[in-house]
Structure 1
Amino acid sequence: MRLHQRNPDLSAYLAADEVIDHSHPVVRELATKLASRASDAYTYAELAYEHVRDTVAHSEDAGDERVTWRASDVLEQRTGICYAKSHAYAALLRAEGIPAALCYQRLADDDGTNSVIHGLVALKLPGESAWARQDVRGNKPGVDARFSLGPERLAWTVRQEFSEMDYPVLYDVPHPAVLATLRAAPDRSHLWRTLPTEL
């Protein structure tokens, strides 16, 4: 799949903002801790990936009603849906100078109905010419996502016969529809009913 940077300036994918708040002490402390165990950028990116995938619960899987969207809150409260977990992973990457983008898939039920937007992260490691998409959603029976710079190991591969698709755009900030939905949700049950269905 060919990915397209929304912003041609790579520094945009290193920036901090209200959502990807990698200058926040919670993010900085965790980034420093993970970096102390890493020998290079690749190892750090994989450690950060596994931390978010495995220690931040997907709130739908866990039945957690809290809604998080700011990276520091996701890491502190250890809960969030795919978008929120992607914000946290992007913040950890950017905290250590690794360009990170947000990207999305449209997925559906097995009969092609009930489409929903799923959030991913793409990173660009030193010496790599291409961006590599990663899925920190969290594994469960039937889902086995893994960190990979080679063949993608995402939670789901899109099925064109069900009108699923990979959106090729690499966003430096969350898509407005995604962020608006997260901010408007009083709880996860409401959020689940109002997730965006297309971008």
Structure 2
Amino acid sequence: MNMTCESTNFNDYLLELNEVDYSNPIICTLANELFNPLQTEIEKAKTAYEFVRDEISHTWDIQSKRVTCHASDVLTFKEGICYAKSNLLAALLRSQGIPTGFCYQRLMLFDTPDKGYCIHALNAVFFHSLNRWIRLDSRGNKTGIDAQFSLDHERLAFHTQQELDEVDYPLIYVRPHPKTTSILKEHTDAIEMYKHHLPEKI
């Protein structure tokens, strides 16, 4: 898919944000554990991606009511929905000087259109050594979902079905979309939020 950057300045994709708080001590501690100076940007990205995908539970999968948003909270509680997990992956990679943005898909919330739609969040990472952006989805794998770190072709959690009004949005955002951030900040019951309050479109 041809992607478009919200900003032409790579430094914008390294910004520390409220939700991407990579100076927080818990993020710094993890970064020191995960990364070393000898690693390439690709090795660092793979390490960070697999950590967030595998070590941070998707809140819906574990049927938890906890709502996390800031990267530090996601790491503290080891859980979050895709919006939150994408904040943590961005924090880890931006802390290493690797430009990381936010991408979105419009997907069926469950398995049929009549059950509604939701916005799904993932990340786009710019690799200077490849001179291109790569989308990575750290949502977390389970039966029927097998997202992987791949540079050759995308291996995302979900592939959009345009015939069912699903959408791949091409824009790479500098910041998490306001709709996704506000949802996390307005709710305290993740299950209720997930079933009834996720935004349906960007």
Counterpart CA distance in 2 for 1:190 and 1:177 is: 17
SS in 2 for 1:42: helix
1:45: which partner in 2? 45
1:101: which partner in 2? 101
What TM-score do you get using the length of structure 2 for normalisation?
0.95
Which residue among 146, 149, 164 is the counterpart of 2:148?
146
Which residue among 131, 139, 157 is the counterpart of 1:137?
139
Cα RMSD for the two superposed structures: 1.2
Q: Is the 8 A contact 1:101 1:122 kept in 2?
A: yes
Are the structure 2 counterparts of residues 38 and 102 from structure 1 closer, same or farther at C-alpha, using a change threshold of 3 Å?
farther
Are the structure 2 counterparts of residues 55 and 169 from structure 1 closer, same or farther at C-alpha, using a change threshold of 3 Å?
same
SS in 2 for 1:179: helix
Which residue among 186, 189, 198 is the counterpart of 2:188?
186
1:196: which partner in 2? 199
Using the TM superposition, give the Cα deviation of residue 190 of structure 1 relative to its aligned residue in structure 2, in angstroms.
Answer: 2.6
Counterpart CA distance in 2 for 1:38 and 1:118 is: 34
Amino acid of the structure 1 residue aligned with 2:104: Y
**Structure 2 stretches of 5 or more lacking a match?**
none
**Structure 1 stretches of 5 or more lacking a match?**
none
SS in 2 for 1:149: coil
Counterpart CA distance in 1 for 2:95 and 2:15 is: 9
2:29: which partner in 1? 29
Between the two proteins, the alignment pairs up a number of residues equal to 199
Amino acid of the structure 1 residue aligned with 2:188: P
1:19: which partner in 2? 19
Counterpart CA distance in 1 for 2:54 and 2:107 is: 22
Amino acid of the structure 2 residue aligned with 1:57: S
Runs of 4+ in 1 over 4 A off after TM superposition: none
What TM-score do you get using the length of structure 1 for normalisation?
0.96
**How many percent of aligned residue pairs carry the same amino acid?**
41
Using the TM superposition, give the Cα deviation of residue 154 of structure 1 relative to its aligned residue in structure 2, in angstroms.
Answer: 0.3
1:163-178 counterparts in 2 under 5 A? 163-178=165-180
Amino acid of the structure 1 residue aligned with 2:168: D
Amino acid of the structure 2 residue aligned with 1:148: S
2:113: which partner in 1? 112
Amino acid of the structure 2 residue aligned with 1:111: T
